[in-house]
Chain A
Amino acid sequence: MTTQLFGDRVERREDARLLRGEGRYLDDLGSDALQVAFVRSPHAHARVLDIEVDGALDVDGLVAIYTHDDLPGRLAEPLPLLIPHPALDQPRTGYALANGVVRHVGEPIAMVVATDRYTAEDVAERIAVIYETLPPVVGIATAYGAANLVHPDVPGNRSATLVQEVGDVDTALAAAPHVLELDLDIERSASMPLEGRGVFARFDPVDEHLRVYSSTQTPTSVRFAVAAILGLPDSRVECVAPDVGGGFGVKIMHPWPEEVLVPWAAMRLRRGVKYTEDRREHFVAATHERGQLQHVRVGVSDEGCILGLDVDLRHDNGAYTPYGLIVPIITSTQLPGPYRLPAYRVAFTSLYTNTVPVTPYRGAGRPQGVFAMERTMDRIAAHLDLDRAEVRRRNFVTPDEMPYDVGLTFQDGRPTIYDSGDFPASLDKLTALIGWDDFAQLRAEAAAEGRQIGIGLACYVEGTGVGPYEGGHVQVEPNGRVNVSTGLSSQGQGHQTVFAQIVASELGVPFADVHVVTGDTRRFGYAVGTFASRAAVMSGNAIALAARAVRDKAVRIAADALEANPDDMEIVDGIVRVKGSPSDGIALKTVAVLSNPLRYSFSEESKAATQFTMPARGGPPVPAGEAPGLEGRDYYSPERSTFANGMHAATVEVDPATAEVTVLRYAVVHDCGNLINPMIVEGQIHGGVAQGIAGALYERMAYDSDGQLLNASFMDFLMPYATEIPHIETDHLETPSPLNPLGIKGAGEAGVIPGSAVIAAAIEDATGIVITRMPISPSELWALRGEDEG
């Protein structure tokens, strides 16, 4: 078997188990656990006057009902503000169970524990909550107007305002020969993994040990949060992310009310307790994203070069700000994309509304920023009657300007410096792939047949691999098995495969011998989490460094045993050998035996390491500076993020009779540096593009003015099926990142980022109608056409 696996289309290690139905998702665990249901607010904004449980107490199988009054200590206090920021001067977070006031439909008020979920729901429906409704604040314009307040002590519903400026925008705009203005609107959407949230906890009273399983993107952080809030030593809490049925951002939010309440109930009841979210709950009790109003002013030269860009963002953060300002900060800092902006000012106002809180969803603020920038590019092209690709080309940062400092502070508190990329080359690839230059003729031919077709493109730069760090542990067992662990968790990205590819390549061992565990604090306690397209960059590099440490140690031990020069050694197919002398080697598993001097032997192999059989050598059995065992642990902590980039183009057809939009072709050129597994990278892009098209044409959160989510089901929230997603054509440009040992950049989110911008541009090209608001439905496009023909 070859050991050079980095870069190969290796089939996934995860699959056989998942294909047999042997996955272990949250609700597959705890078959004998007590089950939980919640009483949730039906009102967007109300005072809770009373909670009457008498009518629920005779349900057979009821174990406990908890309200805020029952919660002890920190569990009764507001949940943590995860990411404080100096500009977030009015942060607010919710309670695990409502403390007198509810601020969005779906906020939990009472927790029911029963013998099964059906019974728990019977009880929940018999609990009577008495409300006094308060005026709801729904929608960005209403929140900004602030006739009513979400939090009575937050003036103007403003949680934060932040201005960043590079250069002198006012002077640049004053001097510009052309100044254009755009008002843009992006609606809400959500991650919507097919597995909702879930928590299962059990407490061992003998060991006084709490184990929490959560369908989370950050088990290490859930562990610390649960320990802190329940007043337990970290060492008495462990958290495991089992198989997770999709995340896409929503599961990076933590600790959820359910995530602290379920472990608390498990400790109190001395029983396993489990909560599995249902779909309606996921719509109204998990989190959403997108949702911005944008005002853009751009100053442009006669040639179409941007001289100054001034952007004002109004961002809907929902009822609370547990995840801080990450989303509008990312919009602000990623909005410039691949373009050189001599002067750029971006201001955002983050606003409270009586809706579900906003936390990152795949793309995390970038789709909004790219929508603003790319709609602006298209407007410049239209104004100056230039080709849209050419306008972009004239504004690109060029490869010889790398590293390119945008001058802004990124979401990790570090400078926004592009480390790599060749934007002109990417655009050449994209225009060739989609046939940009020939499209005018196709459009004319289609028009002659009475068909409306159009083409659009959009570019983005994505900061990936944000810090602070991830770690990796690699250990070779005396039987040759290689165990790898890292703390961050997996939601379908194929980490067990790609991390094994890295270790097999670095260590020179067969892929089949490498076994990877992710997201289990029992195996690796220090981690940050899986988000921001960071797992491959962060854990991939940490694991590579750990594998290199193992390799170096193996070479030292083998060289000692073979009396060879360590510099002349290599590891091939699990054998540590002298270069050019394949017969002169020692198996890595034997090195593992020798690495751990023994007094006691339990197997034939390990006899070689006992005290009377080990070759005699001077000094102590474990040399100074060494540790027993053939293992290594290392961390990767980058100075700053690495910036991937890409460009998408699409062609669409608009039905003249119905205004229905069909995506005809969708092309992607992507640069995430060196590819570990091209099959997996392409799969990530496909899934992202599908979410991008979904967000452009189908998915929105339809709140009415009372704060009721009108489409909180899959009947009404239109997630696309196979019939809605076109074939996606991909091409890669690989400009390795100079920032990390493997030269990789993140790939997880990329596919979704330019979706709305690309489709809006293509619809505009097909119809001639200016598109400023996404998503767009056929009826909305029909109505716009009416206005246009007016």
Chain B
Amino acid sequence: MIEETHEVTLRVNGVARTVRVPARRLLHDTLRHDLGLTGTHAGCEHGVCGCCTVLYDGRPVRSCLMLAIGSQAGEIRTVEGLAAPDGTLSPVQRAFRECHGLQCGFCTPGFLMTTTALLEEDPAPSDSQIEQSMAGNLCRCTGYQNITASVRRAAELLAEGGR
């Protein structure tokens, strides 16, 4: 029993990457194990926890519910693409550090991607919009209070002209 593989080209963080993978290979496995972008995490592999959230054409998606072979049409952004090339943290990343919005850090990339998408769509969300937007990501450490504070702070930093 030998499995057929397919050539797949993904555009990740602005770079085209080509790999050969079986048709069933999930996007998060390809990102993590074929492309070495291990910042995207797998927490449940059934689309509930949000740890594997990446942006696909700017929208947050669960990379555990997508096949790599089916992800060739869009622009993919992962947590590795948030900081500037010299490593300077983005306003969203800085806000999470300032507000203690992470503890073990495992869910954090998912929250960062969700927050980034939220603030790109609406730079000044209300508290209730923030809470609703974060309600697709589980965190077991923080109790969420400092995460929502981080999102508010990120909006402030962006409004102050941060990038």
Contact = CB atoms under 8 A, between A and B. Distances in A.
Interface string B1-43: 1110000000000000000001011000000110011111111
Nearest to A723: B135
B153 to A, nearest CB: 13
Given A27-B32, A492-B105, A687-B140, A279 B44 contact: yes
A719 interface: yes
Given A21-B79, A194-B139, A492-B104, A279 B43 contact: yes
A42 B124 CA distance: 50
A492 B48 contact: no
B161 interface: no
Interface string A562-592: 0000000000000000000000000000000
A721 B137 contact: yes
Given A194-B107, A195-B41, A494-B103, A20 B87 contact: yes
Contacts of A689: 143
Interface stretch (A11-19, A222-230, A292-300): A11-19
Contacts of B79: 19-21
B154 to A, nearest CB: 12
B80 A20 contact: yes
A142 B105 CA distance: 41
A88 interface: no
B136 interface: yes
Interface string A46-60: 000000000000111
B46 A16 contact: no
A725 to B, nearest CB: 5
Given A20-B89, A25-B41, A687-B103, A723 B108 contact: no
B112 interface: yes
A21 B104 contact: no
Interface in B63-107: 78-80, 82-83, 87, 89, 93, 96-98, 100, 102-107
B32 A28 contact: yes
B126 interface: no
A687 B48 CA distance: 19
A728 B79 CA distance: 29
Closest A-B pairs by Cβ, 5 of them: A21-B39, A245-B106, A492-B104, A18-B105, A686-B143
B155 interface: no
Contacts of A18: 102, 105, 108
Interface of B is mostly: loop
A248 interface: yes
B131 interface: yes
Interface in A665-684: 679-680, 682-683
Interface in A486-538: 491-494
9 contacts: A15-B97, A27-B32, A194-B139, A245-B107, A492-B102, A689-B143, A715-B46, A721-B136, A721-B137
Most buried by A among B80, B97, B143: B143
Contacts of A751: 143
Contact of B1 (A25, A27, A60, A679): A60
A171 interface: no
Given A12-B100, A20-B82, A492-B103, A723 B46 contact: no
Interface in A147-173: none
A23 B37 CA distance: 11
Given A683-B141, A686-B144, 7 more contacts: A19-B105, A22-B39, A195-B43, A243-B106, A679-B100, A687-B141, A723-B131
A680 B101 CA distance: 10
A21 B140 contact: no
Contacts of B55: none
Contacts of A119: 3
A19 B48 contact: no
Contacts of A248: 140
Given A19-B89, A58-B1, A683-B146, A193 B109 contact: no
A725 B51 contact: no
B3 A719 contact: no
A195 B108 contact: no
B36 to A, nearest CB: 7
B126 to A, nearest CB: 14
Nearest to A713: B46
Contacts of A16: 89, 93, 97
A25 B141 contact: no
Contacts of A494: 103
A245 B25 CA distance: 24
Nearest to A57: B1
Given A15-B97, A19-B112, A194-B138, A243 B104 contact: yes
Nearest to B42: A27
A323 to B, nearest CB: 21
A219 interface: no
A728 B41 CA distance: 28
Contact of A721 (B22, B40, B98, B138): B138
Interface residues of A, number: 60
A687 B98 CA distance: 17
B148 interface: yes
Contact of B45 (A14, A24, A279): A279
Interface in A620-659: none
B36 A21 contact: no
B152 to A, nearest CB: 12
B138 A728 contact: no
Given A21-B38, A21-B78, A246-B106, A728 B137 contact: no
B158 interface: no
B118 interface: no
A118 B25 CA distance: 8
Contacts of B135: 721-723
A350 interface: no
A236 interface: no
A31 interface: yes
Contacts of A721: 134-138, 144
Contacts of B103: 246, 492-494, 683, 687
A19 to B, nearest CB: 4
A20 B145 contact: no
Nearest to A243: B105
B49 interface: yes
A192 interface: yes
A714 B98 contact: no
Given A722-B135, A728-B143, A194 B97 contact: no
A406 interface: no
A132 interface: no
Contact of A20 (B39, B46, B134, B141): B39
B69 to A, nearest CB: 14
Interface string A111-124: 00000101100100
A383 interface: no
Contact of B104 (A24, A116, A491): A491
B40 A21 contact: yes
Nearest to A685: B143
B143 A246 contact: no
B147 interface: yes
B108 A246 contact: no
Interface string A739-763: 0000000000001000000000000
Contacts of B148: 722
Given A12-B97, A715-B48, A60 B104 contact: no
